[in-house]
Structure 1
Amino acid sequence: MKWYEIRVNTTNEASEAVSELLTSMGAGGIAIMDPFDIRKEIQKTDTLDYADDEFIESLGEDVIIKAYFQNSLDINDLLKQINDGLENISQFLDVGKGIDGYGEIEDEDWSTSWKKYYKPFKLTERIVIKPTWEHYDAEQNDIVVEMDPGMAFGTGTHETTQMCSKLLDKYMKDEFEVLDVGCGTGILSIIAAKLGAQKVDAIDIDEVAVRVANENISTNNESSKITVFKGVLTDFKQNDKKYDIIVANIIANVIIDLASVIPYYLKGNNSLFITSGIIKERKLEVLEACAKNRLDCIETLEIGEWVAMVFKCQDTL
C-alpha cells in the first residue's frame, strides 16, 4: 500500500493543535520533528548524545509534522481540508508556514520504523509513560501508563500534558470524581484513574479522539472507572453531575469561554479546576476570566512558553 506523506511546517505552540487536526482527519500516523525537544535532549547533563553548536543552530525554530494518509483519498481535497483547519487554528495560535509539500511513500517506509524513537519516560517522579511495545521494569512506586504514540497526539511528551500530570499527582485523592474536558487520547483520564480516582468522565468533541481514548483506556485496564463521551461540557448540565477535580488541557480561548460554567460542575469549596494549554501571553486573560467566576488561583506552573494553573472554587452554583 502507498501513502501520501503531507508535511506541515508549524510552530512549537501550535504543534499539538495541528497534530490533533491531522489525526481527526484520519491520518494513519504522524511523525513530529520538534527542534525544541531535540535541543532539550542534547543539552541534558546526563545525555549520551553530543552535538556541536553549529548543528544545534541548524535545527531552526520550526516544527515539522509529517502526516500519512491513504493514497486512495483525493489529495487536492485533503490539502484543502488541512488548509481550512490550519486557518481555523490560526485564529487562536500562530500556525507558522503551513503545508510544506507532499509525496507518496510505501507502507513499510514509515509504519513501524518510527517506533524506535519512542522509549519509556518518567512524566513525574512516579508516573511512567510506556509505549505498548516496549519493556519496562517498574520500580516499587511507579504508576505505569501504556500508550501507543502511533494512534494520535497526546502521549505525554508535551509540556502542557506534563504539567497537568504533575498537578493531578499532587492534588488527587482516593475516591475523587474527575472530569477530563477535551480528553484527546485519554492520557490524563488514565492517570487520574491510576492515581486513585473513583470515577472519571472524559469528554471530547472529536469522534477519533473518543475512539482512541477508549482504546488506550482498555489497554490500561481502566474501563471500569472511565467513561468517554462525545460532546461538549454543557451536554453534562442536564445530568446535574459535579466533580472534585476538572482537568482541561486545551487552549486559552476555550478555557476563558468555559470559566463561567466550570463552577457549576464543581462540588464545593475544596474542588479544583486544573488547566493548561495556555501560552504565557494569555496567562493574565485566563486569570481574569477565572477570577470573575469565583475561581481562585492557588498554584501556577510554567515550562518553556506554556502555563498550567490550579483554581479552587469559592462556592458552588
Structure 2
Amino acid sequence: MTAAVTEVAVTGVGVVLPGLNEPGGLPHGPVAGAAPVDPAALIGKKGLRFKDRATQLGLCMAKAALTDAGLLGPRGLLVPGDRVGVVVSSNLGNADTVCRAVATIAEENTGALSPMDTPNASSNIIASEIAIRFGLRGPNLTVCNGVTSGLDALRWARLTLRSGRADHMVVAGVEPDNDITRRLTGARMVDGGAAVVVGRTDAVGAAGPRLLLGPSLRTEKLPDCAARLADAASGPARDAAAGLWLGAGPSAVPPGAESADLSGWGECSGALGLLQCATAVAWADSGRTEPVYALLGGADGEASGTVWTPPERAV
C-alpha cells in the first residue's frame, strides 16, 4: 500500500513531567516543589510491577497522547492496531537495568540474574511495552543515537507514515533520573518526557491536524544546520524572523525571532526532540501561525533540524 498524501501531522500530545501534564508550561521550566511523577496515579498499578522507570513513564505519556488524539477510549484502541506503530527515543532509558545486570554477572554469575528483570535489558523495551499495553501492532523501533535522537525518531515516524506502512505512529521521548544516569552523564536527568501521535492527514479523522511536520535535515555542525533552516524559511511564504526557534543558540536565532529554552528541565537527551515538538504544538494551539524551527546537536557532533508549521500556514 502506498500513501496518497505526503502531509504528516501531529494529532495528539502527552507530557509527563514533575508537576506538568500539558505542553504550554514547558518553556517556563520546572514547577517548584513538584513531586516526581507517579505512574500508578496516571495509569493504575496493574502491569507496572517489574518494569523499569523509563518504561513506566513511557506508558504514561503514550496513553496521554493516544487519548488526546482520539485513538484510545475507556475500552481500548479505537482504530485497527495493525495500522498504529511506535517509535521511542531514549538514550539512557534502561541503563540502570543494564548496569545492574553487568554488576550481578561480574560479582556472581548469570544464574543470579532475575528472570523478571532480564527483559528490561533490551534496548527496545519501552517501545515494545507501549505496543503490548495498547495493542499497537504496526512498525516498532527505538532510536538511541545521542543528542539528535528525538528529531530523528520523528523523522523515522514520518517516513513510515509516508511509505504507507501505518496510519498513525506514537513517538515518545523519555529519560529517567536515577543514580546510574546521573553517574553516566554527570547531570540531573529530566525524569520524564513527552509523546506525540502523528498521522497522515488523510487518516487523522475528526481530531484534525494540530501541527504539520515538515522535512528534516542533518548537517555536521549545529551552526550550519541553523543557517540551512533559516535559508529554507526565506521567501514570501515563510520568514525565519517570524517564528519560534527551539534549541538554537542566541547567535543562531534570526533578529526579531522568538526563542524558547527547555534546558531548565535537566539533561533531556533523547527526550528533548519530543519536548520541542510538544512546545510547538502548544505554540500552534495558542493561535500562533508562524513556523517553529527545532534544532538538536552538540558542539562537535552531527546536528539535526526541522521546521514545523501550524495547519493554517501549510505551504
TM-score with structure 1 setting the length: 0.29
TM-score with structure 2 setting the length: 0.29
Higher RCO (C-alpha under 8 Å, 6+ residues apart): 2
